[in-house]
Structure 1
Amino acid sequence: MKKLLTAACLLLSLACTAQQKSKKGWIQLFNGKDLKNWDIKIRGHKMNDNFGNTFRVENGILEVRYDQYKDWGERYGHMFYRKNFSAYLLIAEYRFVGEQVKGGPAWALRNNGLMLHGQSAASMGLNQDFPISLENQLLGGNGKDPRPTGNLCTPGTNVVINGKLITEHCNTSTSKTYPGEQWVRVGALVLGDSVIKHIVFNDTVIVYNKPQVGGGNVEDADPSLLKEGRLLHEGTISIQSESAPTDFRKIELFDLSPYMKDPKKLDAIIHQLQEETRTK
């Protein structure tokens, strides 16, 4: 496992270094054109009722917007990629723009998230606010306080950090604050239910393992999905709508699951990426 982690970390470094890297082996979760292969679930609305055109694509950018909302109304929303993943490297580039929708909670100012190992959109309750998942929390600066990005929040889940079960809902990363409307690159290296790392640009900012069901901070979830201590080794990936206008210009994934049991094959993939990167 140690060799596998080392190899996967090298893969992460290569992926973050090359802006124009080869797309071979990468899955473009956001295709730059439309919302194909995504399901939408907004609190109080049926699946794929995209209330207020919250999630949309304009000029190659995936936008989360609220210009058709009269007020927030606690309409927490999520857009789920339709395939489950277990072991992967996820990379996204985001920025916060504009003003928070009227009535949005203070904590949700310039706040979004990449939800990992989550439940499906179809299994969400009609009035469920957040999926049972692990949140790679995306925060933007407010001009006054430190607001690191890449934090961990745990709706309906707990994790282990340094051998200790962590039940606090949110855990702060070591990232710096990114103010304004600048583009920020974040990532997640996910290896089943063993190790998960959040990355901001080239820095690992938080590490945890043994993700599992537990804790609170989820309303109206199916009780059958809330079995305490159930390890999460796979699940959906989703992005949030929490009242802060947000842009995404990239959401892509390299699936590591075929190589988890064979570090040599993983090393071969890394070597291939190294060669391709040198030619850019």
Structure 2
Amino acid sequence: MSWVLHFLGTGAAHAVELGSSSAVLERDGRPILLIDCGPDTLDRYEAAYGEPPCALYVTHTHMDHVAGMERLFFRLWFDSERRGRTRVFLHADLLPWLQMRVADYPGALAEGGANYWEAFHLVPCTRGFWLDGLWFDVFATRHHRPGTSFGVALRGSFVYTGDTRPIPEMLAVHGSGTGCIAHDCGMVGNPSHTGVDDIEREYDAALRARLCLYHYGSAADGEALAARGYRIARPGGRIALDPPPAPRADAG
């Protein structure tokens, strides 16, 4: 059985040529979970898989990570076989923000008669969630206001940080072992994002060797990170993952 993390886009919000940062967990070539849905994500997803996602995890509600949910609503609402079936997982603290961002506009349809969330199967969570017999851990990250951004991890296989400053204390818990760590990183950090100098200050060599950097500011920045010896995610690229062990007895 093969496990892969497929990066649909890898760019920071302004790096439109790299695509909105998002990734898909694949098992034996089949998509299991889409992580984030920016403005161009649905097009990239459907080009790769020929259908809309069956499950989506939202790391935070900045528009370069959720703006594609309006189009996804229309895609699902007008397909009677898919309406109400795509699961949307998110930390419960994000629900008010996501409601304001994508679901509160008066009249989801011009014709009326449609409640936004009826197109989806909404699954708020706190510690994590079950999907396809797998337990995914959810953990807080450091991006703007506390309690507004959350990463996701499949223990022993991968960690996806979402937008964040360095989080060594979280990776000590959720990134232990040998799995891939997909981490926000640009050439220069700021109060909301990690820079390569932060990576080299906050993480030891063993952890840095497991990083796959994304959310960089340009193709040139990505190549500069690669020239410093880091593995970078590239738009459309796939990273092989270790298979996850059986879920822990205390999961859920």
With the length of structure 1 as denominator, give the TM-score of the two structures: 0.28
**Higher helix content, 1 or 2:** 2
**Higher strand content, 1 or 2:** 1
